[in-house]
């Protein structure tokens, strides 16, 4: 019997887990090396004084990306994972007192914008129709196929994509496109926010990003029972079922290649043979530290890094019935906020504040009865050596002042327990260079084409998955990167 190919995956983030599952389904022997003592990467979790916190991503869309993995493995997803739809995608608060419920039902959402902001109902209808068309005709090519393999592109519906593209999505900024659809600045700001889903600036990022709202308002958002960590747990258990071997507290020290071909890795100061290596590490770090390739790592840094985040995990001693699962408290000057993030590399004094509260969906489980677990996040610049201890103090004060003002409640005495995550800590924990959450930003028209491919052109057997490579950051795109990678592996080792 032929010995199966041995694939090593460096890192067990969501893309690493998905890659391991897909390669195991293809019949490969798969081993995962993870520097932390737990799987999941950014998609992790901790508990403090009875409050449960998802430490990283908090939005769940496109569950079929996960369902597909269980179908491939021949396993019933209901034995591992459960989720439910959420009726209000997000609740938005503005400084002038306006409050918008962004309903998942587009008709109700249109009525809400009409009643609260005097926005023509047809504006939203047309916008979401065009967002869906943009996603189905163009987005599917960018997100489901390698842009760097001709044989992959030949399978993509390129003709349909090219014929349906509108120049404004390519040559106008996201803000310009949104401003052409909506008359109320609050509505424009609401839809500009979606640039942050891949760490970008809506005043620079191309209008192509207007396909992102399709995911929430046409496909829906969901809540995974047990919180976002249940995604990691389900994929980890599925990987184990498929025979994947895990080595925790075992960082990969080097990738071994000889004459343009993968030979294995070094971990624990030992050489471990492999036919294939999949890096789920930030692509910059892969070249810089695992391959010692200074030239390639410098080339990657020519692309602007995405934004990072400052996160406060607050256990609140009271419940806030006016809040939902997802909540946004907008900055009064959105453009100035993004100028600070990308131009000045500083936190803005009036940040947009995002609050995720999973106890809204599981009261008494995610937090003690009568209390709430707040995941409080503001966008932050990538780490270039700022004084994060000082920023932490300033940011906390600015957030509390903003929430006190809008909620008309003194919230500080209600903070029962607290933990903080800054960009420098994100960099240390997840090896995301400069703490950037999504690798490079999409603040240029060519950003989608400049992302590193899911394979190495110079080293046979070396592949890449995760938010720093094609097609981009966020859970859905990380899962798609694993799919693209596995298809390339299948063709390369046919």
As a three-state string, the secondary structure of 119-147 is CCHHHHHHHHHHHHHHHHHHHHHHHHCCC
Alpha-carbon distance of 127 to 121, in angstroms, equals 10
Peptide bond into 471 cis (omega under 30): yes
Torsion of CA 167, 173, 178, 180, to 10 degrees: -60
Dihedral of alpha carbons 328, 334, 337, 342, sign: positive
How confident is the model at residue 159, as a pLDDT? 65
DSSP 306-361: PPEEEEEEEEESS--TT--SEEEE--S-HHHHHIIIIII----SS--EEEE-GGGT
Could you tell me if residue 385 is left (phi over 0), alpha (psi between -120 and 50 degrees) or otherwise beta? left
Low-confidence spans in the chain with pLDDT less than 50: none
DSSP letter for 449, please. H
First to last CA, the chain: 17
How confident is the model at residue 431, as a pLDDT? 86
Which of 163-171's residues contact partners 24+ apart within 8 Å by CB, and which partners? 164/133, 164/137, 164/138, 165/137, 165/138, 168/207, 169/134, 169/138, 169/206, 169/207, 169/208, 169/210, 170/206, 170/207, 170/208, 170/445, 171/206, 171/207, 171/445
DSSP letter for 257, please. E
Alpha-carbon distance of 243 to 266, in angstroms, equals 22
Residues forming beta bridges with residue 265, ordered by sequence position: 255, 272
Alpha-carbon distance of 14 to 482, in angstroms, equals 9
The structure tokens listed for 33 are 């090396």
| 376 backbone dihedrals φ, ψ, rounded to 5° | -110, 120
Order of strands, sheet of 83-85, starting from the edge strand that comes earlier in the sequence:
60-61, 221-224, 83-85
Alpha-carbon distance of 193 to 178, in angstroms, equals 11
Residues forming beta bridges with residue 462, ordered by sequence position: 277
Residues forming beta bridges with residue 51, ordered by sequence position: 48
Alpha-carbon distance of 18 to 110, in angstroms, equals 37
How confident is the model at residue 447, as a pLDDT? 77
- Give Cβ neighbours of residue 287 (< 8 Å, ≥ 6 apart): 293, 296, 297, 300
How confident is the model at residue 2, as a pLDDT? 72
Dihedral of alpha carbons 39, 42, 47, 53, sign: negative
Model confidence, pTM: 0.95
Fold classification of 6-84+226-304+443-492 (topology level): FAD/NAD(P)-binding domain (3.50.50)
Q: Answer for the pair 333, 350: CB distance below 8 angstroms, yes or no.
A: yes
The number of beta carbons lying within 10 Å of the beta carbon of residue 482 is 28
DSSP letter for 244, please. -
pLDDT in tens, 198-227: 999 999 999 999 999 999 999 999 999 999
The structure tokens listed for 119 are 């926005």
Alpha-carbon distance of 383 to 399, in angstroms, equals 20
Alpha-carbon distance of 218 to 229, in angstroms, equals 25
Order of strands, sheet of 270-273, starting from the edge strand that comes earlier in the sequence:
252-257, 262-267, 270-273
How confident is the model at residue 161, as a pLDDT? 62
């Amino acid at each position: 019997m032929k010995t199966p190919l041995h694939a090593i995956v460096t890192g067990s983030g969501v893309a690493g887990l998905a890659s391991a599952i897909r390669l195991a389904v293809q019949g490969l022997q798969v081993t995962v090396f993870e520097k932390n003592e737990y799987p999941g990467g950014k998609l992790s979790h901790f508990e403090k004084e009875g409050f449960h916190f998802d430490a990283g991503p908090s939005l769940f869309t496109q569950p079929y990306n996960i369902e597909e993995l269980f179908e491939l493995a021949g396993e019933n997803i209901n034995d591992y994972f459960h989720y439910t739809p959420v009726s209000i995608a997000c609740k938005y608060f503005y400084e002038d007192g306006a409050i918008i419920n962004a309903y998942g039902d587009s008709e109700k959402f249109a009525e809400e914008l009409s009643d609260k902001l005097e926005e023509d109902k047809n504006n939203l209808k047309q916008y979401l129709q065009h967002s869906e068309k943009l996603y189905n005709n163009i987005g599917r090519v960018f997100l489901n196929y390698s842009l760097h393999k001709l044989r992959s592109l030949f399978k993509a519906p390129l003709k349909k994509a090219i014929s349906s593209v509108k120049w404004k999505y390519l040559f106008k900024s996201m803000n310009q496109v949104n401003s052409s659809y909506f008359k109320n600045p609050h509505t424009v700001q609401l839809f500009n926010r979606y640039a942050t889903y891949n760490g970008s600036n809506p005043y620079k990022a191309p209008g192509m990003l207007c396909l992102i709202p399709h995911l929430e308002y046409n496909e829906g958002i969901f809540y995974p029972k047990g919180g976002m960590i249940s995604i990691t747990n389900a994929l980890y258990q599925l990987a184990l079922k498929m025979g994947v071997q895990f080595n925790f507290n075992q960082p990969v020290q080097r990738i071994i290649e000889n004459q343009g071909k993968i030979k294995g890795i070094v971990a624990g100061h030992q050489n471990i043979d492999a036919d294939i290596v999949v890096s789920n590490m930030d692509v910059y770090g892969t070249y810089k530290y695992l391959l010692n390739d200074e030239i390639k790592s410098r080339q990657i840094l020519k692309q602007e890094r995405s934004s990072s985040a400052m996160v406060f995990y607050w256990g609140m001693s009271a419940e806030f019935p006016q809040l939902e699962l997802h909540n946004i408290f907008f900055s009064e000057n959105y453009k100035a906020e993004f100028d600070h993030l990308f131009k000045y590399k500083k936190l803005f004094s009036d940040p947009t504040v995002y609050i995720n509260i999973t106890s809204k969906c599981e009261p008494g489980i995610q937090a003690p009865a009568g209390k709430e677990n707040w995941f409080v996040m503001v966008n932050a610049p990538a780490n270039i050596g700022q004084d994060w201890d000082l920023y932490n103090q300033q940011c906390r004060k600015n957030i509390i002042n903003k929430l006190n003002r809008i909620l008309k409640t003194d919230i500080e005495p209600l903070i029962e327990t607290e933990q903080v995550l800054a960009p420098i800590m994100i960099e240390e924990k997840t090896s995301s260079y400069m703490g950037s959450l999504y690798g490079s930003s999409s603040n240029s028209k060519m950003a989608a084409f400049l992302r590193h491919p899911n394979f190495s052109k110079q080293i046979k057997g070396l592949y890449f998955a995760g938010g720093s490579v094609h097609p981009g950051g966020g859970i859905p795109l990380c899962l798609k990167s694993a799919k693209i990678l596995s298809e390339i592996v299948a063709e390369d080792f046919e």
